[in-house]
Amino acid sequence: MKIGPKYKIGKRLGASVFEKCQTQKFVLSESRSKKRRTSRRPGALSDYGKQFIEKQKVRYMYGITEKQFSKYIKDATKSPSESKDKIFQKLETRLDNVVYRLGIAQTRRFARQMVSHGHIFVGGKRVTVPSYQVVIGDIISVRPNSKEKGLFIGITERLENYSAPKWLSFDEKKLDGSVLSLPDLSTADASIDLDLVLEFYSR
């Protein structure tokens, strides 16, 4: 998925979209932009506008294409009462996101590269598809031959104070983790509103 200027997108959709936008540098840049915009009175967003922005926010946050996201929505809405939970679980159990949640990669984008370049194993087998859906019981690990490579050097020290979400377990010394349960919607990022996303696709 191609992504444009991250600061520009972050200013439009919110800082939570990219890890790069969750820095003091971005805050200062956003502050300067707001000062330049004070002379222009922004128009009120329509319901459609709010729904579209929320959909884009989630899509960019997880780094997925419109086609992929539409498929997740279609699958999730087969059970209307559980739609939000299913969408969240689909997003969170992507292999690239799990590698990020385990702390192996510091950004989802970096996690996608790790998976695509063959550095990650699932159940002892190499998986190079970032959208691969992990299930309860799966063991996610760094490929043995990759552990000595530059991108993993110093990772043990970096992860000493990191805690993975409760639905995952991780051994920073072995560089492997497991899926203990499905992610719960209560742990979703507070900045996203899946109700608005569902409203967008129900139009």
- For the chain, the domains span 1-38, 50-93+190-203, 95-179
How does residue 6 score in pLDDT terms, banded at 50, 70 and 90?
low
Q: How far is CA 203 from CA 17, 48, 52, 76, 199, in A?
A: 24, 9, 11, 16, 7
**Cα distance between residue 124 and residue 141, in whole Å:** 8
pLDDT of res. 43: 67
- 117 vs 158, more confident: 117
Query: Region 113-141: what's the mean pLDDT?
Result: 97
- 81 vs 72, more confident: 72
Residue 69 C-alpha from the chain's centroid = 12
Asked if pLDDT for residue 25 goes beyond 80, the answer is no
pTM of the predicted model as reported, rounded to 2 decimal places: 0.79
Domain 95-179 has CATH 3.10.290.10: yes
Asked if pLDDT for residue 39 goes beyond 80, the answer is no
Query: Region 149-173: what's the mean pLDDT?
Result: 89
Asked if pLDDT for residue 80 goes beyond 70, the answer is yes
Euclidean distance between the first and the last CA atom of the chain, given in angstroms as a whole number: 25
**Cα distance between residue 143 and residue 141, in whole Å:** 6
pLDDT of res. 156: 85
